[in-house]
Amino acid sequence: MRTADAIRAGHDLKRGRRRRILAAMITLDRISVEFPGGLRAVDGVSLRLEPGSFTVLLGRSGSGKSTLLRCCNGLQAATAGTVAMDGLGVAADRAAWRALRRRTAMVFQSHQLLPRWSAFANALVGSLGRRPLLAALLLPVPRAEAEAALDALARVGLAERAQARVDRLSGGERQRVGIARALVQRPALVLADEPVASLDPATAIQVLDLLRTVCRQDRLTALVSLHQVELARRVADRVVALAHGRLVFDGPPSQLSDEVETGIYRATRPSPLPTPAGEPALIGA
Ligand X SMILES: Nc1ncnc2c1ncn2[C@@H]1O[C@H](COP(=O)(O)OP(=O)(O)OP(=O)(O)O)[C@@H](O)[C@H]1O
Residues that bind ligand X (CB under 6 A): 35, 39, 41, 59, 61-67
- Residue 193 Cβ vs Mg ion, minimum distance, rounded to whole Å: 6
DSSP conformation letters of 130-179: GS-HHHHHHSPPPHHHHHHHHHHHHHTT-GGGTTSBGGGS-HHHHHHHHH
Segment interacting with Mg ion (CB under 5 A) among 37-45, 61-69, 141-149, 157-165:
61-69
Length of the chain: 285
- 3-class secondary-structure state, position 94: helix
- Residue 63's binding partner among Mg ion, ligand X, none (Cβ under 5 to 8 angstroms by kind) is ligand X
User: In a 3-state reduction of DSSP, which class is residue 197?
Assistant: coil
Give the range of 16-24, 60-68, 141-149, 233-241 binding Mg ion by CB under 5 A: 60-68
- In the complex with Mg ion, the residue whose CB is nearer, 109 or 206, is 109
- Contact between 190 and 220 (Cβ < 8 Å): yes
62 binds, among ligand X, Mg ion, none (CB under 5 to 8 A by kind): ligand X
Of the ranges 63-71, 145-153, 212-220, 273-281, which one interacts with Mg ion (CB under 5 A)?
63-71
Q: Which of 63/175 has CB closer to ligand X?
A: 63
Cβ within 8 Å of residue 231, ≥6 positions away: 56, 196, 204, 205, 208
Q: Which amino acid is at 138?
A: L
Q: Which is nearer to ligand X, 133 or 267 (CB)?
A: 267
Distance CA 212, CA 232 (A): 11
Output 33 or 166, the one with its CB closest to ligand X. Answer: 33
- List Cα–Cα distances, 59 to 139, 194, 224, 262, in angstroms: 45, 11, 12, 11
The residue among 86 and 194 lying less far from ligand X, judged by its C-beta, is: 194
Closest distance between ligand X and the C-beta of residue 218, in Å?
26
Query: Please, where are the H alpha helices in 218-243?
Result: 229-235
Least CB distance to ligand X at residue 51 (A): 25
3-class secondary-structure state, position 218: coil
Amino acid type, 131: R
Closer by beta carbon to ligand X, 65 or else 238: 65
Q: What, of Mg ion, ligand X, none, does residue 64 touch, CB below 5 to 8 Å by kind?
A: ligand X
176 binds, among ligand X, Mg ion, none (CB under 5 to 8 A by kind): none
Distance between CA 256 and CA 249 in Å, rounded?
A: 9
Using CB under 5 A as the binding rule, whether residue 175 contacts Mg ion is answered as: no
Binder among 66, 82, 104, 185 for Mg ion (CB under 5 A):
66
Q: Which helix (H) or strand (E) holds 69?
A: helix 65-72
Least Å distance between CB 227 and Mg ion?
Answer: 9
Q: Which residues bind Mg ion (CB under 5 A)?
A: 65-66
